[in-house]
Amino acid sequence: RRVKIKVAPGWDSLAVQTARAAMAGADLPLTVDANGGYEWPEHEANLRALDGEELLYIEQPLPPDELVGHARLSRTLQTPICVDETLRDARAARQIVDLDGPRVWNVKVHRVGGLSEVCRIIRIAERFGARLWAGTMPESGLGSQAAIAAAAMPGFVYPSNLEPSARWFGRNVDVIKLTMNSNGYMQVPGVSIAALLDQTRFRGASRQVLDVGAEG
């Protein structure tokens, strides 16, 4: 578990301090997400102030195309930098590695192009030493299944932005129901979208089903 808040120039250190006051007594790591709202060196003082707040990481401080800027910032600040919108696909992951850039990556399976691309990013991250977590947007059940499958893969070590099935959009009759315990964990039956489908309902509504295993 962790707490994540949004920040922007002028609402950063105060936002963190306000959040910490509200969290008094809760031993939870705190992260901030800037959604690319800062510029360097224009907002250097703001970012250095955030660097002193003992955050788990600072997510997407600079605009998405600032690959060089994020790499420079990750070497300038003590707090780890996390890329989100910058990580568009495996090609962007390789560019981050080539620049010796940030080593925390928010992998959104829908943005990068699916689970096959996630697997490519995992291999790149493993060689580079990057630590991953699964981000998501409000999703249907099937869309959530893809993000949950990604979050269960090796290399995903930070708490992810995932929700139990009660909060998914739509009727979601073709996917299994998942609950989250008080510690923020969900038990999943396997690392694939197929493992998260309601197979009885899915097969009952299908004219033909082709099972392709790992060797197929």
Q: Which residues are catalytic?
A: 6, 108
Closest among 122, 123, 73, 126 to 101, alpha carbons compared: 73
Would residue 15 be called left, alpha or beta, if left means φ above 0 and alpha means ψ between -120 and 50 degrees?
alpha
Residue 30, beta-bridge partner list: 3
Q: Is 105 exposed, middle or buried (0-12, 13-18, 19+ CB in 10 A)?
A: buried
Cis before residue 138, ω within 30 degrees of 0?
no
- Read off the DSSP letter of residue 183: T
Question: Taking the CB of residue 34, how many other CB atoms lie within 10 A of it?
Answer: 23
Give CA 1 to chain center in angstroms.
Answer: 13
Helix (H) or strand (E) holding 73: helix 67-76
